Amino acid sequence: MNNIESLDQFPRCKTCGKIIVKNVTSFRQGFGQIQYCCAKCRANNPEYKKKFLENRMTKFGNIFGDIKKIVTTRISRHGRKNPKLSESLKKAYRERKTEI
């Protein structure tokens, strides 16, 4: 991004076309290789969605993640597969309501 003299020289978001004017200082952001203005634009890009799903398939074998790990974590934390129905969460919600 050195020697930029006009707005036309700034990179633009792949999804919405906005000018991206961000200082990149981390590996996660890509050191000047930013392609999207925000996480919402990145998530709405069909190319990113396709790449994301392909990575999930190669890593876990399905697009939802490791189902066995998810179920065991829910059982250990809440005592059942569906955490929405657990007594611990119901109690926590009731306590929040009384605080409010």
Residue tagged 């990145």 (tokens): 42
72: Cα within 13 Å, side-chain hemisphere: 4
How much is the pTM?
Answer: 0.48
| More reliable by pLDDT, 23 or 94 | 94
Number of domains in the chain: 2
Q: Are residues 93 and 80 in the same domain?
A: yes
Statement to judge: residues 53 and 26 lie in one domain: yes
Q: Is residue 2 part of a domain?
A: no
In a shared domain, residues 28 and 74: no
Question: Does one domain contain both 55 and 72?
Answer: no
Residues spanned by the domain of 30: 7-63
**Buried b / exposed e across 46-68, counting CB within 10 Å, b at 16+?**
eebeeeeeeeeeeeeeeeeeeee
Residues with Cβ < 8 Å from 6, sequence gap 6 or more? none
The pLDDT, as a whole number, for residue 65 is 77
Asked if residue 86 belongs to a domain, the reply is yes
Question: Is residue 40, in this structure, part of any structural domain at all?
Answer: yes
Mean pLDDT of the chain: 77
Give tens-digit pLDDT for 36-69.
Answer: 888 888 888 888 889 888 988 888 788 877 888 8
